[in-house]
Structures are given as structure tokens and as C-alpha cells.
Amino acid sequence: MIRIACLLATTDVAPDPSVQRALLRVALSHSPRVEDAGGGRVYLDASGLHGLFGDEPRLAARLCDMAAAAGLTARVGIAGTRLAALAAARLGPGVTVVDPDGDAAYLAAAPLSLLDLSKDLSARLSRWGLRTLGELAALPTAGLFERLGGEGVRLQRLVRGEDPSPLVSWKPALLFEESVECEWGMETLEPVVERLGELAARVCTRLGERGLAADGWEWVCRLDEGRLHVGALAPAVPMTDGAAVAGLLRLALEARPPRGIVRALTLRARPARITAMQESLTDRSRPSPRLLTATLNRLVGLVGADSIGAPALLDSHRPDAVGLGAYAPLPISPSPGERAIRGEGRASGNTGALALRRLRPPAPAAVTLTSGRPVALRSSRLSGRIVAGVGPWRSSGEWWSKQAWLQDEWDVELADGTLCRLANDGSAWHLAGIYD
């Protein structure tokens, strides 16, 4: 026989999430099956707990005491269904146990407000003259179905002490975190890295036991005088290899070491599930995730995080509108059709596209004009007479924002045969690039 306990926080105002979490912790410390009903209400499966906590009144009293120890004022009801347990918790003296098979009788005198009814349905039942759950239970089922449909029958079954729906089990979020305290303090980086490596190995072991990996790592170093040194890293691929993670942590800490004596360390992993997939012989070759992650982190230390990644064309007509996305090599090459959709390549196998080499930033240039056309160029990179040229190709955009732009571009040929692109933004000329 199923027995359900209702743990109800008694607060005058709506309980905040911390109250709900505390209730869930109390419930979970007594039963593995716990349902989070929200609003300061938690149900737990009280069946078969007498061997651990004694009979039901003692279990209910213990739940009350544990809630009080957590700083909560709670009422407890135990019955055969959730509704009866709620009624016992809400209407009883504080700790109430309803006899087995006595749910319907117990609920008969309870008010209709105990049910979470919509405003319309509540008004309708009120117009029928119903005040208690017992009156609803006594109505003929067929007539109730004709007037309220399946919802009416469901409510009547509940108030008759029949609740066929099982508890919706709640599981706490997995927290992969390890900490260590050092009474003597760590003044140099080496012991800090060593301790973090040990923590990473422990976290990775726990992740591995659950078939998970981590796609993000955060660490907190507690320094003297209560100061904190916080850092985070996101490997290119989810990792479970403690040694590899330790290597990454070393690189990150060497790039930005804690300024002070470290008293305690905490390492936290963000778990991610990896779908096991067999590699194909026809897939594109790519670097191993571990080596790639280590190499990318070293490169980030060398050139900076904003200077490395996969180039991405931005959805803009602004000249040189490119960005850098995260580099995550895909095993499968896009098909020619996919590449055409993505706008890559003018034709399959086309190897004859003229390349422009950009100058970033564009080099300031002095351009001589005759009849509005450039005839001579002088810049730090290129100088000479212009023998041919086409333009201007005018483009503008984003006039509605602070990043408004307007630019005239010319493709010109210098006397020595060099092809280059000039740009004029209305105030000055620039050498934007050289055709290669």
C-alpha cells in the first residue's frame, strides 16, 4: 500500500526558492522518491520507511524536527494519496496521520478550496451549492461527466481517495565540485597547480562514473584577507581526462596567477553528456581533442582569445565584415550542396578565384584625382601611377546605428602591374587591400 507524506512550509507569504530547496533536502534525506509540488509543498513516498524511522507518527514528527533544524516551520500529513496528505498537513494540528483506507472519510469535511481549481470551475461548483469535498464525491459520476467532462471525473476520483498518478520523482542537480583547504597556505604557483590537478582527477573520476564529461571548468582560490581569485576555462571539446584538464589549468593559472597566499581551492565542472559515436573511415581527419585543446589554449596565451578561431562571414555588406567563431572541427565535410547553401565557393572544384590580401587596419593613402578618377597613389605600402581603374563601388549601411558606414571602393592597377583596392570613406583615402 502506497503511503505519501506531505511536507508543507507554513509561511504567510509565498515561499522563496530557498525554502523549497530546503524542504526538498529534508524530504530527500528520508525517502529516495520525492516530488517537488512547488509553493512550499513537497511530497515524499513514505512507504516502507518504518524500518528506518519507526512508525508513521514518528516519521512525521522527525520530518517536522528536521525542517525546524533547517530553519523552517513545517506541517506534515501522511495519507494514502497526495490530496489527503495535503489536507492532513494543511488542516491538521501540525503532524497528522490519516488511517489507511480512511482518505475519503478524512477528505469529506475538507473545503473545496483544497483542490487547485480554476476560477471558472470553482465558481461553477459554488453555484451548484458545493462547499466540501464530500459533497463533490457524492455527486453521480455520469452526471458530473456530462457537465464537466473528464476533468470532473478526475476531481471526483481524487476526493474519493483515488489517485492513480505516480509521484513525479525529483532529482537534485548534479554538482561536480571538489574543494581542499590548506592551513599553511600556498605562496607559489606550483603547489596550487598540483592541488588543482588532484581535484581535477577526482572530479573527472566522478564524471566518468556517470558517463559524463565537462565542457566548462571554474576554480576559486580563497586568498588571505578573504579575497578571492576566480577563473574559468572552456575546453574546445568536453573532457574527462584528469591529466589533460590539469595541464589546461596549469596554463590558465600561469597566464593569470592568483595574487596572494592561497588558503583554499575549489574546482567545479560543468557536466555535459557525450553521445558515443563510431568514427567513420571516410570522415575528415582532425586533431585529437586533447591535443587540440592544449594547443588552442597555448595559442590563446600567445595571441589572445580574440585572435584565434574559425573565420566566419558576418551577415552584412560592410567591407571586411568577418568574425571569429569557436574552432570545433567537424568530422564530416559538408557536401557540395550544403556548401552552396552556405554560400561557400562559386563552383565545385573552383581553384581560380582571385584573392584579396587585406590590410588591417587599412593603410592611409594620398590619392591624386583627375576628373574624379584616381591617377596616382602614395602610401606606406604602395606608391605609383595608376594606369587603370574601375569604380567607385559605393556601399553604405547601418545608418540607423552608431556603426554607420559609407564607402567608395576602387580597383586600380599601378604602373608596375600591382592590383589593389582603394577605399574612400568620404574623408580620407585608404589602401584596403592588394590582389594577390
Query: Is 127 or 360 the residue whose CB approaches other proteins more closely?
Result: 360
Strands (E), 111-211: 176-186
Contact 387, 374 (CB under 8 A): no
Type of residue found at 296: L
**Positive or negative, the Cα torsion across 49, 51, 57, 63?**
negative
Identify residues 352-371 at the interface with other proteins (CB under 8 A).
Answer: 352-360
* Minimum distance of other proteins from residue 283's CB (angstroms): 9
419 belongs to the binding site for other proteins (CB under 8 A) = yes
Query: Is 128 or 393 the residue whose CB approaches other proteins more closely?
Result: 393
Query: Is 92 or 389 the residue whose CB approaches other proteins more closely?
Result: 389
3-state class of 365 per DSSP? Answer: strand
Type of residue found at 81: T
Query: How far apart are the C-alpha atoms of 233 and 9, rounded to whole Å?
Result: 40
Which residues contact residue 122 at a Cβ distance below 8 angstroms, ignoring those fewer than 6 apart?
Answer: 112, 113
Which one of 56-64, 138-146, 249-257, 336-344 is the stretch in contact with other proteins (CB under 8 A)? Answer: 336-344
Which one of 27-35, 46-54, 93-101, 350-358 is the stretch in contact with other proteins (CB under 8 A)? Answer: 350-358
Buried/exposed code over 254-272 (b: 16+ C-beta within 10 A; e: otherwise): eeebbebbbbbbbbbbebe
Query: Is 73 or 295 the residue whose CB approaches other proteins more closely?
Result: 295
Count of residues that interact with other proteins, criterion CB under 8 A:
58
298 belongs to the binding site for other proteins (CB under 8 A) = yes
Query: Is 180 or 314 the residue whose CB approaches other proteins more closely?
Result: 314
Query: How far apart are the C-alpha atoms of 211 and 206, rounded to whole Å?
Result: 9
Query: How far apart are the C-alpha atoms of 322 and 314, rounded to whole Å?
Result: 5
330 belongs to the binding site for other proteins (CB under 8 A) = yes
Query: How far apart are the C-alpha atoms of 15 and 40, rounded to whole Å?
Result: 6
* Minimum distance of other proteins from residue 328's CB (angstroms): 8
Query: Is 226 or 343 the residue whose CB approaches other proteins more closely?
Result: 343
Dihedral angle at the C-alpha atoms of 90, 96, 99, 101, nearest 10 degrees?
Answer: 20
Query: Is 7 or 252 the residue whose CB approaches other proteins more closely?
Result: 252
Contact 357, 433 (CB under 8 A): yes
Which one of 117-125, 199-207, 254-262, 291-299 is the stretch in contact with other proteins (CB under 8 A)? Answer: 291-299
The β-bridge partners of 287 are none
The cell for 222 is 580563497
Which residues contact residue 162 at a Cβ distance below 8 angstroms, ignoring those fewer than 6 apart?
Answer: 81
308 belongs to the binding site for other proteins (CB under 8 A) = yes
* Minimum distance of other proteins from residue 285's CB (angstroms): 5
User: Which position among 226, 311, 337, 372 is part of the footprint of other proteins (CB under 8 A)?
Assistant: 311
Q: Which residue has the cell 573565420?
A: 311
Identify residues 369-388 at the interface with other proteins (CB under 8 A).
Answer: 388
* Minimum distance of other proteins from residue 114's CB (angstroms): 58
* Minimum distance of other proteins from residue 351's CB (angstroms): 4
* Minimum distance of other proteins from residue 321's CB (angstroms): 8
Query: How far apart are the C-alpha atoms of 247 and 249, rounded to whole Å?
Result: 5
Which one of 12-20, 163-171, 194-202, 344-352 is the stretch in contact with other proteins (CB under 8 A)? Answer: 344-352
Query: Is 20 or 293 the residue whose CB approaches other proteins more closely?
Result: 293
Q: Which residue has the cell 569604380?
A: 391
* Minimum distance of other proteins from residue 62's CB (angstroms): 58
Contact 230, 220 (CB under 8 A): yes
User: Which position among 57, 208, 287, 364 is part of the footprint of other proteins (CB under 8 A)?
Assistant: 287
Query: Is 186 or 359 the residue whose CB approaches other proteins more closely?
Result: 359
Sketch the per residue contact string, 235 through 274, with other proteins: x for CB under 8 A, - otherwise.
----------------------------------------
User: Which position among 68, 230, 313, 415 is part of the footprint of other proteins (CB under 8 A)?
Assistant: 313
413 belongs to the binding site for other proteins (CB under 8 A) = yes
**Long-range CB contacts (within 8 A, 24+) of 287-293:** 287/329, 289/235, 289/236, 289/237, 289/239, 290/239, 290/241, 290/244, 292/236, 292/237, 292/329, 293/235, 293/236, 293/237, 293/239, 293/244, 293/248
Cα 283 from chain centre: 30
Query: Is 145 or 405 the residue whose CB approaches other proteins more closely?
Result: 405
Q: Which residues bind other proteins (CB under 8 A)?
A: 284-288, 291-292, 294-295, 298-299, 302-303, 307-313, 320, 322, 324, 327, 329-330, 333-334, 339, 343-360, 388-390, 411, 413, 417-419, 433, 435-436
